[in-house]
Amino acid sequence: MKTKILIICCAALLLGTSCKNKNNMDNPFFGEWNTPYNIPDFEKIKPEHYLPAFEEGMKRQKAEIDAIVNNTEAPSFANTIEALEQSGDMLNEVSAVFFNLVECVNSKEMEKISEKVTPMVSAHSDDIMLNAKLFQRVKAVYDQRESLGLTGEQLRLTEETYKNFVRNGANIPADKQERFREINSLLSSLSLRFGNNVLKATNGLTLALGEDQVANLGLTDGQLAAAKEAAEADSNCKEPYLFTLHMPSWEPFMQNCNDRSLRQKMWENYAYRCTQECPYDNSAIIDSIVNLRLERAQILGFESHAAYTLDDCLAKTPEAVYKCLMDLWKPALAKAKQERDEYQKMLAADFNNKEVASKFNIQNSKLEPWDWRYYCEKLRTERYSLDEELIRPYFSLDNVREGAFTVANKLYGITFRENNKLPKYHPEAISYEVMDGDKVIAILYMDFFPRESKRSGAWMTNFREQYVDKDGNNVIPIIQMVCNFTKPTKDKPSLLNFDQSETLFHEFGHCLHGMLSKCHYRSISGTNVPRDFVEMPSQVMENWCRHPEVMKTYARHYKTGEAIPDSLIAKIAAAATYGQGFINTELLAASLLDMDYHSITKPTKIVLPDFEDQAMTKIGLIPEIISRYKSPYFQHIFSGGYSAGYYSYTWTAILDADAFEAFRESGDLYNPELAKKFRHLLESGNTEDPMKLYIDFRGKEPSVEPLKRNRGLI
């Protein structure tokens, strides 16, 4: 998942409490932060501070809710909807800090706290959502909303608040509420356990090799240097080189390692994480999660969890999602089969060469999943003379980051001023003041490198979202961007491949969505938009990353400063649709697998790998490719908020390709008029219907043709 959005409860993630508790004078959550921009003072926060802060935060919000419910005045927008929106300052503050740090600075102590507070927060949220008297007041305002003279944003907040209550059980019969609460608590705990298991398995499954073993593996100097530093950093490693399942280590190994048996071992470590063959088995957890989600959806009156989820998205129905995915599946699978046939011939040639077969441990000529990336990279190099090791020197992390900053400046006029005096949650995090002219409009943290305490992947989240406080003051957002790129070595900076460069631009697009927000109410500001729209502002940034005109401004050799040559840009462009069969097939397979889990309409015993195998056989996935995420480590849908929503990467890809087409057609990648319209879309959050915002920008409904063309599917 390339984005992570925390949804703690219905209240806003507001910062700043002023009341001190005498028994908690040393707890930083019980007072105002004496920091620039009211940033949490991370250095003062200790694990023992969290539980008392959660308990006090819930106590305070309960009192605020009671005050709304017991108000003798007739329900109004101000005394009900707005009062609810502005409740829960302290709880939302500690929640934002704690749950974000669990993802990137985890520990056994933090895990224990998670296990305790997660069901507490779930129960507290249920107490609000299932408060009948509170809902009566919300419904009273909702029913008369058209006659109250509300602003557009106030009307949107009223409608979204009412919908949130209904979707979280406010209308369910009283005799089902206890079970509803129990399901929510169980799901919170199970999702937490799922994610912790994946983190532990990812960290625990490594491959340690000696000097003689790596001598002729075909790995680059940079990969070996990174593996050596990883071994030095791991006190349990007895060998000089250590390869891990984190993408900066695993993927280059699979692309370059010529020893087939070692590729197989690394692939099996990756693909069989959290299965019955591996510690931290997630199989039973998946069965429970899927069936509990179904039961909850049916209590709410929906046929399936997918129907429940999509009712609040642009897609609306499972049928619409399946149609979108299958329209792309057929051409993607056909392209993947062509790629397979090419790689199969290459493997057969290696097998028939007895010297090569013996040297590289090739025991048979049948193409397997652990062969795909190796022969893909080999053919890419042969066909396009495009060696990743020739690309990486031009895509140092610093240059790519500055490239993203430059695009944002040219489009929206904003700049980024590094300020290392701001509080930090980890020494590796880099902090920036985001400037619009001479005005600071946001704080941005960038955290780039893997560590054992950080989950894998890349995402954007926030420690505070933009909103206007009770006194009418604009509160700037505090945005966090987290990645897992290759660490710099003693001799080289962090050098990215082109996919990683696109990942940085992607997550930065999410950051822009949060940083440019200009909304009054937090719960509908920034990235708080439907799941199948939230990826559009991020994915559209990838188009600038890969455009030759833009690439020449930021892709510079880390040693010489020389701009990337036109010949290399041409090769990258020529190879742009290379491997798209695999890329699209594994992505669509994961999306369809997600939908299959969450479209069941009757309680089903989920037995793995049978359920997944049947789902993949049904769509004709070839055995040489697996779903981008196999079920036991599919964090997006089982612990990351993307259940029945992983399709959104494809759905919004249609929007992003169509949006960039507008700039391309204008002949100016930074067209001021279009940039102004797109900035308005980013600033507006969920204050208007997202599709209306898109059509206002584009002037028409989106077309799927630009996406198909970009991916070489037509």
Q: Is the domain of 154 the same as that of 222? A: no
Pairwise pLDDT comparison (276 vs 321), residue with the higher score: 321
Q: What is the pLDDT of residue 710?
A: 83
Alpha-carbon span 108 to 241, nearest angstrom: 27
Q: Is the domain of 445 the same as that of 504? A: yes
Return the residue matching tokens 């990353």: 545
Q: Is the domain of 157 the same as that of 223? A: no
24 pLDDT more than 80: no
Q: Are 578 and 373 in contact (CB under 8 A)?
A: no
Residue 377: which pLDDT band, with cuts at 50, 70 and 90?
A: very high
Q: Is the domain of 565 the same as that of 481? A: yes
Boundary (domain end) residue, out of 271, 290, 306: 271
Q: Is the domain of 108 the same as that of 225? A: no
Give residue-wise pLDDT tens across range 394-445: 999 999 999 999 999 999 999 999 999 999 999 999 999 999 999 999 999 9
Q: What is the pLDDT of residue 18?
A: 33
Per the domain annotation, does 372 fall within a domain? no
In the set 507, 535, 612, 683, the catalytic residue is: 507
Give residue-wise pLDDT tens across range 531-541: 899 999 999 99
Give residue-wise pLDDT tens across range 267-311: 999 999 999 878 899 999 999 999 999 999 999 999 999 999 999
Boundary (domain end) residue, out of 236, 251, 271: 271
Return the residue matching tokens 């005005």: 439
**Six-digit token string for 592:** 């369809």
Q: What is the pLDDT of residue 77?
A: 98
Q: What is the pLDDT of residue 10?
A: 35
Residue 9: which pLDDT band, with cuts at 50, 70 and 90?
A: very low
387 pLDDT more than 90: no
469 pLDDT more than 90: yes
Q: What is the pLDDT of residue 5?
A: 35
Residue 388: which pLDDT band, with cuts at 50, 70 and 90?
A: confident
Alpha-carbon span 543 to 508, nearest angstrom: 13
Q: Are 226 and 248 in contact (CB under 8 A)?
A: yes
SS (H, E, C) 488-535: CCCCCCCECCHHHHHHHHHHHHHHHHHHCCCCCCHHHCCCCCCHHHHC
Per the domain annotation, does 521 fall within a domain? yes
Residue 3: which pLDDT band, with cuts at 50, 70 and 90?
A: very low
Residue 344's nearest CA partner among 360, 366, 359 is: 366
Average pLDDT of the segment spanning 581-605? 97
| Residue 306 burial (C-beta neighbours within 10 Å; 0-12, 13-18, 19+) | buried
Instruction: Give the CATH number for residue 679.
Output: 1.10.1370.40
Range list of β-strands (E), 170-311: 207-209, 241-243
585 pLDDT more than 90: yes
Q: What is the pLDDT of residue 577?
A: 84
Q: Is the domain of 410 the same as that of 544? A: yes
Residue 11: which pLDDT band, with cuts at 50, 70 and 90?
A: very low
Percent above pLDDT 70 for the chain: 97
Residue 473: which pLDDT band, with cuts at 50, 70 and 90?
A: very high
Residue 69's domain comprises 22-129+131-167
Per the domain annotation, does 522 fall within a domain? yes
Residue 9's nearest CA partner among 87, 80, 83 is: 87
Per the domain annotation, does 670 fall within a domain? yes
Average pLDDT of the segment spanning 162-176? 94
Q: Hey, which residues does 480 pair with through a beta bridge?
A: 445, 461
Q: Are 313 and 238 in contact (CB under 8 A)?
A: no
Instruction: Provide the mean pLDDT of the chain.
Output: 93
Number of folded domains that form the chain: 3
7 pLDDT more than 70: no
Per the domain annotation, does 92 fall within a domain? yes
**Six-digit token string for 103:** 């993802």
Q: What is the pLDDT of residue 709?
A: 84
Per the domain annotation, does 509 fall within a domain? yes
Instruction: Give the CATH number for residue 107.
Output: 1.20.1050.40
Q: Are 243 and 269 in contact (CB under 8 A)?
A: no
Q: Does the active-site annotation cover 55?
A: no
Which H helix or E strand runs over 371?
A: helix 369-384
Q: Is the domain of 147 the same as that of 230? A: no
Which H helix or E strand runs over 28?
A: none
Q: Are 695 and 701 in contact (CB under 8 A)?
A: yes
Per the domain annotation, does 10 fall within a domain? no
519 pLDDT more than 90: yes
Residue 459's nearest CA partner among 470, 445, 473 is: 445
Boundary (domain end) residue, out of 248, 271, 294: 271
Q: Is the domain of 219 the same as that of 138? A: no
Q: Is the domain of 554 the same as that of 669? A: yes
Q: Is the domain of 163 the same as that of 209? A: no
Per the domain annotation, does 354 fall within a domain? no
Give residue-wise pLDDT tens across range 88-99: 999 999 999 999
Q: What is the pTM of this model?
A: 0.86
Average pLDDT of the segment spanning 659-683? 97
Q: Is the domain of 162 the same as that of 244? A: no
DSSP 645: T
* Pairing label, strands 430-436, 474-475: unpaired
Q: Is the domain of 153 the same as that of 211? A: no
